[in-house]
Amino acid sequence: MMQVWAVEGIPEIVAGDDLAAVIGEALLRVELVETLVDGDILVVTSKVVSKAEGRQVEAADREDAITSQTVRLVAQRGTTRIVENPLGLVLAAAGVDASNTPEGTVLLLPEDPDRSARELKAALEARFGIRLGVIVSDTLGRPWRQGQIDLAIGAAGVRVLDDLRGTLDAAGRPLEVTITATADEVASAADLVTGKSRGLPVAVVRGLAHLVGEADEPGARSIVRPAAEDMFRLGSSEAYAEGYQAGLDAR
């Protein structure tokens, strides 16, 4: 049986805080049933990871901060930009967040969320003497679907993808394309108990020990679809530019 609960008692995080130590202290204050056990997965929102790592920057103009984090413009409507950021993620505003930060500042995503997850895993495993998975989550929108969900942008010691190709479905037919994004599903489950405005940035997911492994498991970066396999690689601006150039070349 899977269980998910938020970790209470985590204070406001600022640059330089030892996030693993803060989380560890919070876990020690809760009831015994809520302390970590072998095979648990800890889901930590990217916002507190970014704050601890000093990713808060001065930015009177949020658009300038978005531009600095843009590798590729995928689409734009009005002032809303969908871009690819340095992590390979395609999302609105490059993941630059102006909520819950002092006026005139914005928060960038962690520079390397997989590394952040590995560091949290190592510190908490050493403290509690258990085998642990860690996911760093962030909120993303989805093409063709209303609303946003939390996804894994960093992971350590978690099987982020479960490749079911070659196995059989319940009717005995072979599965040919099914690869389950397990890390994203775990991140979304955690968001159901942490929420966006409750001040609860950490959740524990129990009952999925079969997904927990060593620190050298592929991280969340491996979930990003390679460009060569992306059927929707071109954004509207890029598609227009290519079509326009092709028309000029055909003259």
C-alpha of 86 from chain center: 14
Q: How far apart are CA 41 and CA 35, in angstroms?
A: 12
CATH code for position 78? 3.90.1660.10
Can you give the pLDDT at residue 142?
A: 85
**Residue 30 forms part of a structural domain:** yes
38 φ, ψ to 5°? -55, 130
**pLDDT of the residue at 197:** 67
99 shares a domain with 190: no
> CB of 182 within 8 A of CB of 189?
no
Task: Give the helix/strand (H/E) hosting 210.
Answer: none
Q: Report pLDDT digits (tens) over 219-251.
A: 999 999 988 888 887 777 677 788 888 888 887
Strands 41-45, 133-142: pairing kind? parallel
Q: What is the mean pLDDT of residues 153-180?
A: 88
- pLDDT tens for 50-92 read 999 999 988 777 888 899 999 988 888 888 899 999 999 999 9
Same-domain pairing of 62 and 95: yes
Domain count, the chain: 2
Does residue 114 fall inside a structural domain? no
Cα–Cα distance measured from residue 178 to residue 159, given in angstroms and rounded to the nearest whole number: 15
Token couple for 180: 């389950």
The span from the CA of 142 to the CA of 206, in Å, is 27
Which has the higher per-residue pLDDT, 227 or 113?
113
In a domain, 239, yes or no: yes
Q: Kindly state the helix (H) or strand (E) to which residue 62 belongs, with its residue range.
A: helix 62-68
Do residues 110 and 133 touch, judged by C-beta distance below 8 A?
no
The CATH number linked to 164 is 3.30.1330.100
Residue 12 domain-assigned?
A: yes
Q: Which residue has the tokens 């003259």?
A: 251
Structure tokens at 159: 């099987």
Confirm whether 62 is domain-assigned. yes
To which residue do tokens 């495993």 refer? 125
Indicate left, alpha or beta for 124 from its phi (over 0: left) and psi (-120 to 50: alpha): alpha
The 10s digit of each residue's pLDDT in 1-46 is 899 999 999 999 999 999 999 999 999 887 655 678 999 999 999 9
What pLDDT shows up at residue 177?
A: 80
The one-letter amino acid code at 128 reads: F
**pLDDT recorded at residue 159:** 95
Asked whether residue 146 falls in the same domain as residue 89, the answer is no
Per-residue pLDDT of 116-163, as tens digits, reads: 999 999 999 999 999 999 999 999 988 889 999 999 999 999 999 988
This prediction has a pTM of 0.90
- Residue 102: is it exposed, middle or buried by C-beta count within 10 angstroms (0-12/13-18/19+)? exposed
